[in-house]
Amino acid sequence: MSAVFPTVREILALDPVRHGAPRVVAGDDGLDRPVRWVHVAEVPDIATLLGGGELVLTTGIGLPADDAGLRAFIGDLADVGVSGLVVELGRRYLSGVPRVMAAAADRRGLPLVELRRATPFVRITEAVHALIVDAQLTELRATEEIHQRFNDLSVEGADTAEVIRQAAELSGCPVVLENLSRQVLGYDPAGESAELLLDGWEQHSRRIRPAGRTAYDLDSGWLVTTVGARGQDWGRLLLRWPASGDVPSAQAGEPTAGPPTRLTILIERAASTLALGRLIRRDAEGLERQIHRTLLTALLDHSRPVDEVGLRAKALGVVLDRRHLVGVMVRHRADDAAGEVGPEAAQARLRDLAEAVGQAVREAKLTALTSAVDDHSVGALLALPDPAAEDRALSAFASALHRVRLDAGTGRASTAGVDPARGAGPAAVIVAAGSGVGSLREARRSLVEARQIAEAARRDRRDLPIFRLPHVGLAGLLHLLRDEPRLQTFVERELGTLLEYDARHPREQLLDTLRAYLEQGRNKSAAAAVAHLSRPAFYERLARIARILDVDLDSVEAALSLHVALLALEAVRAP
């Protein structure tokens, strides 16, 4: 039931009710139940006409005269979920309601109130209904503000942090955005302790299992909605209600005992804004590189017809038709170096890298589209006369880039963030090249491959002039795919039940047992020694894992699938 409705306690404080000198004689614990309507009744079988949440007013003139009848009357009201019963004294009951009636109400936790002074019921119903309508109008205004606020955020292209901040501000509750592997992408503690909010988040999140795309998990006190667009879900947005974390218990007449409707609307609108922002996010940059970036981006995301890209590139003097095309990505090995100098310096650092790549293309006498393609990478699409020129052209480009960066290091190291020693220090760059292709329609494959290789190479300590696909092993491949929802879904399908078990039994950590078993090539004796367990204890744990996952751990195929899922989980959890 929505929290916009006034409670029994609030109604007892209204002037028309106070005029009747109210006295609570039973069910004190239920005074905070919400009241969605007031109903006047003088017949004993009124319960069949009620839907729950009503405050019933009566003079008692039609109530049963026997004790059993009064108990049944109170029981019927409690069963249907009324919020309270108010009895005016003077017509049927002079000095007070019958003791059996009060005892029955107390047993069922139903608030029973006496009005010791005659009061026109119509004044009570008018006052309560006006209060309800005012509360609903307030809720409507709050809902309109939510819609307007998130419409504005969508139009302004607000980033993820701002959307989450606004959601926390409007709700007054902590908000967390996570991916499908329960890793936190963003959060706002709404004034509470961020450390306490996020402590052990993955295990805590796995215990939050609402029924539905948007639903309230009563056990944990989190309102959850799925985030995604175009049929592709990539995360969950969670809002803790109430903000204190003290989860309300369901009471009679409150089928869901959950947050108010406006919070459900708020979290869904916030999730829609996040999904839309992910689809349309664009980076601002200098006009001089905009056309190159537009064309490279068009090849990466299919936003323009390939023929149009070829024509526009030709107009720029970059002929891509009937050429051997190779996608190249250049990026700094460590992103945190940019974070240490602030966003403006990081952008300057990326622009310097883009300039260095462009200059290296010119010095190597190559033809290419070049531009920054995201916050960390500079892309280049090399147009070569034939496949035989590929290795020579890439070597010439890598050498030219090395020289350009050395020159920059002697004169602009402080602004460019480069290290004069190639391959040394946080400013070292990675050059990655995709497979060569024979047409512009295949160029996207080469560019995407180069981007993925560059991302995977960040975990490779080798100092190679150019990274190619053969240099990327399985761990690297999974690392570069770690943000892919399908990989996260695979991890959850293979290991989700075991991760949930470990979350509920933190002392056992069966995932570590499984890792030891698989890393030792399914040699149980060796794995038991690595895990510092006796063989019987280790075998018992393996049997438990097999039951939880419902797999045969002796099966080579099942073990391979689980081992890949473990490597993928490590990639997802990696910073």
Higher pLDDT, 254 or 173: 173
Q: Residues 107-131: what's their mean pLDDT?
A: 90
What's the pLDDT score for residue 246?
Answer: 60
Q: What gap in Å lies between CA 138 and CA 140, rounded to an integer? A: 5
Note whether 480 and 494 are within 8 A (CB). no
Contact 107, 101 (CB under 8 A): no
Whether the predicted pLDDT of 2 surpasses 50:
no
Same domain, residue pair 349 and 455: yes
Task: Point out the domain boundary residue: 442, 470, 498.
Answer: 470
pLDDT at res. 252: 41
Residue 141 within a domain: no
pLDDT confidence band for 101 (50 / 70 / 90) = very high
In this predicted structure, what is the pLDDT of residue 312?
77
- Neighbouring residues of 28: CB distance < 8 A, sequence distance ≥ 6: 111
Number of domains forming the structure of the chain: 4
Task: Examine residue 203 and state whether it is found in any structural domain, yes or no.
Answer: yes
SS3 percent helix, strand, coil of the chain, rounded to 5, is 50, 15, 35
| Distance from C-alpha of 556 to C-alpha of 543, rounded to nearest angstrom | 16
| pLDDT tens track for 178-215 | 988 888 888 999 999 888 888 889 899 999 988 889 99
256 and 238 within one domain: yes
- Residue 43 maps to a domain: yes
Say if residue 498 is in the same domain as residue 437. no
Examine residue 409 and state whether it is found in any structural domain, yes or no. yes
Q: Is 21 left (phi over 0), alpha (psi -120 to 50) or beta?
A: left
Is the predicted pLDDT of residue 284 greater than 70, yes or no? no
Q: Are residues 291 and 227 in the same domain?
A: no
Q: What is the pLDDT of residue 297?
A: 87
Position 338 pLDDT exceeds 50: no
332 and 391 together in one domain: yes
With a cut of 60, say whether residue 422 has pLDDT above it. no
3-state secondary structure of 337: helix
Q: What does the alpha-carbon distance between residue 198 and residue 182 come to, in Å, rounded to a whole number?
A: 11
Task: Using pLDDT thresholds of 50, 70 and 90, give the confidence band for residue 417.
Answer: very low
Quick one: 163 and 244 in the same domain? yes
* Mean pLDDT, rounded, for 448-472: 85
Identify the pLDDT of residue 333.
81
Residue 51, helix vs strand vs coil? coil
Q: What is the pLDDT of residue 408?
A: 61
* Residue 420 in this model has a pLDDT that exceeds 80: no
Q: Convert 454-494 into a string of H (helix), E (strand) and C (coil).
A: HHHHCCCCCCCCCECHHHCCHHHHHHHCCCCHHHHHHHHHH
Domain check: are 442 and 328 in the same one? yes
d(CA 43, CA 85): 13
Whether residues 375 and 464 share a domain: the answer is: yes
Indicate whether 479 belongs to any domain: no
pLDDT of residue 274 exceeding 70, the answer is yes
Residue 248 has pLDDT above 80, yes or no: no
Give the range with max mean pLDDT: 64-78, 131-145, 423-437, 477-491.
64-78
Same domain, 272 and 293: no
Helix (H, G, I), strand (E, B) or coil at 232: strand
Written as one string, the DSSP assignment of 272-321 is HHHHHHHHH------GGGHHHHHHHHHHHHT-S-HHHHHHHHHHTT---T
| Mean pLDDT to the nearest integer, 334-354 | 69
Which of 280, 314, 333 finishes a domain?
280
Region 295-302: mean pLDDT is: 87
Strands (E), 318-464: 324-332, 367-372, 377-384, 429-433
Average of per-residue pLDDT across 74-90: 92
Q: Report yes or no on 117 lying in a domain.
A: yes
Crossing angle of helices 510-519/485-504, nearest 10°? 120
Residue 552, pLDDT score: 93
Lowest mean pLDDT among 145-149, 244-248, 532-536: 244-248
% of the chain at pLDDT higher than 90: 44
Answer yes or no: do 425 and 311 share one domain: yes
Q: Which ranges constitute the DSSP H helices of 109-254?
A: 121-156, 160-171, 194-198, 201-206
Residue 361 pLDDT exceeds 80: yes
Instruction: Judge contact between 220 and 207, C-beta under 8 A.
Output: yes
Q: Are residues 310 and 386 in the same domain?
A: yes
Contact 111, 253 (CB under 8 A): no
187: left (phi over 0), alpha (psi -120 to 50) or beta: beta
* Euclidean distance between CA atoms 247 and 256, whole angstroms: 12
Specify if 142 maps to a domain. no
DSSP code of 329? Answer: E
Confidence label for 369 from pLDDT (cuts 50, 70 and 90): very high
Burial class (CB in 10 A: 0-12, 13-18, 19+), 370: buried
Per-residue confidence (pLDDT) for residue 257, from 0 to 100? 58
pLDDT at 409: 55
The CATH number assigned to the domain holding 269 equals 3.30.450.40
Which residues are bridge partners to 54 per DSSP? 37
User: What's the DSSP call for residue 8?
Assistant: H
- Residue-averaged pLDDT of the chain: 84
What is the reported pLDDT for 103? 94
Asked if 273 and 335 sit in the same domain, the reply is no
Q: Please give the pLDDT value at position 283.
A: 39
Q: What's the number of CA atoms in the CB half-sphere (13 Å) around residue 268?
A: 12
Of 413, 442, 470, which marks where a domain is finished?
470
Sign of the torsion angle spanned by Cα atoms 185, 191, 197, 198: positive
CA distance 103 to 384: 92
| Cβ-contact 166, 177 below 8 angstroms | no
pLDDT of residue 385: 94
pTM of the model: 0.48
Q: What are the structure tokens assigned to 291, written together? A: 């056309």
Q: How far apart are CA 274 and CA 272, in angstroms?
A: 5
CATH code of 32's domain: 3.40.1390.20
Q: What is the mean pLDDT of residues 231-257?
A: 69
330 or 481: which carries more pLDDT confidence?
Answer: 330
pLDDT band at 228 (very low <50, low <70, confident <90, very high): confident
Q: What is the DSSP letter of 366?
A: -
Residues in the chain: 575
> Domain residues for 91?
8-129
**Is residue 139, in this structure, part of any structural domain at all?**
no
Task: Between 266 and 159, name the one with better pLDDT.
Answer: 266
Residue 531's nearest CA partner among 518, 516, 544, 511 is 516
CB 558 within 8 A of CB 552: yes
